Amino acid sequence: MPAKPGVAALGVDPGLAATGYAVIRTRARGGEACTWGSLKTSAKLSLPQRLQMIYQGITALLAEWQPVLLIMEDIYAAGQFPKAAIQLGEVRGVISLAAQEHDVAVIRMNPTEVKCSITGHGRATKEQVSRAVKRVLQLQEEITPDHASDAAALAITGLSRKGLYRW
């Protein structure tokens, strides 16, 4: 099945301190990295303020780029860090709410699945993921920070899994 040109996906690597994002748009051949970055929040702010900042940032990206998919990393949080797991759940909740309000389908993907898809190895390092994203998108520069590169890998993999992108 050939790629569908002009379809966009928003990849999101959720985190309370930094939520990485990348918008990838398909072309007739390959894909285009439209924008990427990180939504950063300060630990000096209250949790509701930080969640609001993430929600507003994701909402702005959804409104500007109008993606058909939002692909979010499915986070594994070890049992010894229950507070971190709860906070990540709250971050994922506001991201999912923003997507729902914009009628954008949400796909959650396991990090090892994404790494395997983009690099061929489920335990790839962040550097290997970054290099693979750069190669797949034929970029001159690397997508930084790491959270944004991970988000780009999520978007590429999500589009591919839905049959909308082939590299």
The per-residue pLDDT for 2 is 47
Copy the structure tokens of residue 93.
């909740």
- Angle, to 10 degrees, between the axis of helix 111-119 and the axis of helix 146-161? 80
What own/partner pairs with CB < 8 Å and gap ≥ 24 does 43-51 have? Answer: 43/17, 47/16, 47/87, 47/90, 50/16, 51/90, 51/91, 51/94
Contact between residue 36 and residue 57 where contact means Cβ atoms under 8 Å apart: no
What is the per-residue pLDDT across 79-132, written as a single tens digit (0 to 9) for each? 677 888 889 999 999 999 999 999 999 999 999 999 999 999 999 999 999 999
Q: Return the residue matching tokens 């750069």.
A: 134
> In this model, does residue 11 exceed pLDDT 60?
yes
**pLDDT beyond 90 at 143:** yes
What's the CATH superfamily of 8-161?
Answer: Ribonuclease H-like superfamily/Ribonuclease H (3.30.420.10)
pLDDT at residue number 4: 58
Q: What is the pTM of this model?
A: 0.94
Question: What is the pLDDT, as a whole number, of residue 29?
Answer: 80
The chain-wide mean pLDDT, for the chain, equals 93
- What's the pLDDT at 6? 87
Q: What is the pLDDT of residue 103?
A: 98
Residue-wise pLDDT for 43-87, tens only, equals 999 999 999 999 999 999 999 999 999 999 997 666 677 888 889
| pLDDT reading at 28 higher than 90 | no
Q: For residue 145, say if its preceding peptide bond is cis, omega within 30 degrees of 0.
A: yes
